[in-house]
Amino acid sequence: MSASLIISTYNWPEALRLCLMSVKAQKIPPTEVIIADDGSGEATRELILSFQQNFPVPLKHIWHGDEGFRLAAIRNKAIAAAETDYIIQIDGDLILHRRFVEDHLQLSKPGFFTTGSRVLLSAKTTINLINHHSIDLRKYGSGQTNFMNGIHNRFIRNFLAERYKIHGKHKYYVKGCNMSFWKKDLIAVNGYNEAFTGWGREDSEIAIRMINAGIKKQFIKMAAICYHLHHKEASRDFEEKNILMMQEVIEKGTVVAADGLSKHFNS
């Protein structure tokens, strides 16, 4: 099965280096990797160029200018550029377990999208890994807080997929840094809603519209493990506005984003 791995990034090439190193180490690699770059500078471009020289699969760089936090828009542009039927989505501040792509592919099935969790790395571990250009967590890792998210178990993965964080208050819970979708389902809901600017909730909102469209959520637990490099939190100045837009989608049962993916197929 083929899959496009979309990696969002913004001006942290040191983290992106480790992320791409972990992609190269995948037991089953994606068919292609697409960097969804929300306006990074020259250092990121040069890093990607250096990886393109010997990367095991096509490595594309999709960029737009820096006009503030426009993650929804750059993800849509990357989705439009994807050449496979299945899309795995992560952030560029993650180190992937070597079975990350394999786990998403094994759990994929028609009529579902998938979301997972992450292990939060300590500031000390993050600094050590970046300074040594290493993804060796056994050697440089210390102080992780949610280590349970780092346990890999295929049986539990399969058992929990349609049981864990699916109903009640968790119905719309997702982690945008660890998701996968069928491209046709993304097209059906018109991708991300580009009215979302500033940090927050664009990933929840697309999940809500997919559920409104009858596409079910799976949660990938104890598999598709990824390790989140420590950094200060993004500004939440737009979160209140974004929450209101998200709640409107729930109340109205909206499926298709008015300003979304479709405009990028001919651009």
Domain ranges of the chain: 4-264
Residue 88: the pLDDT is 98
Instruction: Round the CA-based radius of gyration of the chain to a whole number and report it.
Output: 17
Residue 138: the pLDDT is 84
Which CATH number is 4-264 given?
3.90.550.10
Residue 11: the pLDDT is 97
- Residue whose C-alpha is closest to residue 216's, from 90, 86, 108: 108
Could you state, in chain order, the average pLDDT of each consecutive group of 10 residues for the chain (267 residues)? 96 98 98 98 98 97 94 97 98 97 97 94 93 90 64 88 88 92 98 86 93 96 93 72 90 95 86
User: Which residues 6+ apart lie within 8 Å of 6 measured at CB?
Assistant: 33, 34, 36, 75, 78, 79, 82, 87, 88, 89, 90
Residue 236: the pLDDT is 65
Q: CA 110 to CA 134: how far, in whole Å? A: 37
Strand partners, 160: none
Around Cβ 117, how many Cβ atoms within 10 Å? Answer: 24
Residue 99: the pLDDT is 96
Which pTM value belongs to this model? Answer: 0.94
Q: CA 139 to CA 125: how far, in whole Å? A: 10
User: Which residues 6+ apart lie within 8 Å of 37 measured at CB?
Assistant: 8, 9, 10, 44, 61, 62, 63, 64, 74
Label residues 63-72 b or e (16+ Cβ within 10 Å = b). beeeeebbbb
Q: CA 33 to CA 86: how far, in whole Å? A: 12
- Residue whose C-alpha is closest to residue 3's, from 27, 24, 34: 34
